[in-house]
Amino acid sequence: MRFLADLDVLDRNVILTHALYIAGNGPYDDPHGDDLRLIAEGGATVCHCPLVFLRRGQSLHSFDRYRRAGINLGLGTDTFPQDMIREMRYAALASKVEHADPTAGTAAAAYDAATLGGARALGREDLGRLAPGARADILIVDLNRLHVGPVADPVKALVYHCTAADIDRLIVDGQVVVEDGRLLTADEDELVRRAQAPYDRYKMRFA
């Protein structure tokens, strides 16, 4: 990171994907490194994709530590299932495990990364929020489902109990693209077939 900082690369126009293998991150830490400070001072964003690395037995050490350093964090999916709600949950839970602290990795912090953090990474004040002048991007999730359970805090219920399957309606810039849980802008069954076919051919080549 010092090399990038010296080149004036770590600015607000830069999104660092994953940023696990840096000084300041747990097993890859360098007592002489100051990567987290350099990223924060430069204004770059770290795009955290929890699931793909949790499958490899790795994670940020931790989501909370990067946030406390002043780094803007966004969330990405980077693997199937491409489910941002689950990514919020994995980000929060992994942070709790890393710190052995149930108060670490709050649902609110994960929700902020998935919404405002991503908007800040793009330099877009009109995204990630419901406010006058912002884009009409609205996600409606049905919390009145048995598996969600009693709801004391809607953000916690969303992050800890829900998945993308609970999305009832999605509006993008005023256009309804998901209704009653179904994508309106494409044939979902056809997309599944088109995605599966090349994968099946790939498996046959290496069987």
pLDDT range class, residue 207, cuts 50, 70, 90: low
Whether residue 149 sits in one domain with residue 57? no
Pair 83, 101 in one domain: yes
- The reply to whether 32 and 99 lie within a common domain is yes
Last residue of a domain, one of 113, 130, 147: 130
Q: At what angle do helices 154-161 and 84-99 cross, to 10 degrees?
A: 90
Of 70, 97, 130, the last residue of a domain is 130
CB contact set of 162 (below 8 Å; sequence gap of 6+):
85, 141, 143, 148
| Mean pLDDT, residues 15-22 taken together | 92
Residues 55 and 126 in one domain: yes
**Of 108-117, 140-149, 198-207, where does mean pLDDT reach its minimum?**
198-207
pLDDT band for 101, please (50, 70, 90 cuts).
very high
Considering the domain architecture, whether residues 41 and 84 belong to the same structural domain is answered as yes
- Asked whether the predicted pLDDT for residue 66 surpasses 80, the reply is yes
Give the separation between CA 42 and CA 74, rounded to whole angstroms: 16
83 and 66 in a common domain: yes
**Domain of residue 169, CATH code:** 2.30.40.10
- Are 16 and 85 within one domain? yes
The whole-number pLDDT of residue 206 equals 67
**Is there a single domain that holds both residue 81 and residue 37?**
yes
Residues 108 and 173 in one domain: no
62 has a pLDDT exceeding 90: no
Direct distance between the N- and C-terminal alpha carbons of the chain, in angstroms, rounded to an integer:
41
Q: What is the pLDDT at residue 199?
A: 86
Q: What is the CATH number of the domain that holds 4?
A: 3.20.20.140
Does 116 share its domain with 174?
no
The total number of structural domains in the chain stands at 2
Report the largest interatomic distance among the alpha carbons of the chain, rounded to a whole angstrom. 56
Q: How far apart are CA 99 and CA 71, in angstroms?
A: 18
Query: What length does the chain have?
Result: 207
* pLDDT band, very low/low/confident/very high, at 201 (cuts 50, 70, 90): confident
Residue of higher predicted confidence among 207 and 197:
197
Are 29 and 126 part of one and the same domain?
A: yes
Using CB atoms within 10 Å of the CB of residue 161, give its burial: 0 to 12 exposed, 13 to 18 middle, 19+ buried: middle
Does residue 36 sit in the same domain as residue 65?
yes
Q: What is the pLDDT of residue 204?
A: 76
84-117 burial by CB neighbour count: b if 16+ within 10 A, else e?
bbbbbbbbbbbbbebbeeeebbbbebbbbbbbbb
Domain final residue pick, 105, 130, 155:
130
Structure tokens at 66: 């990067």
Mean pLDDT of 131-135: 94
Question: What pairs with residue 73 in β-bridges?
Answer: 46
Parent domain of 121: 1-130
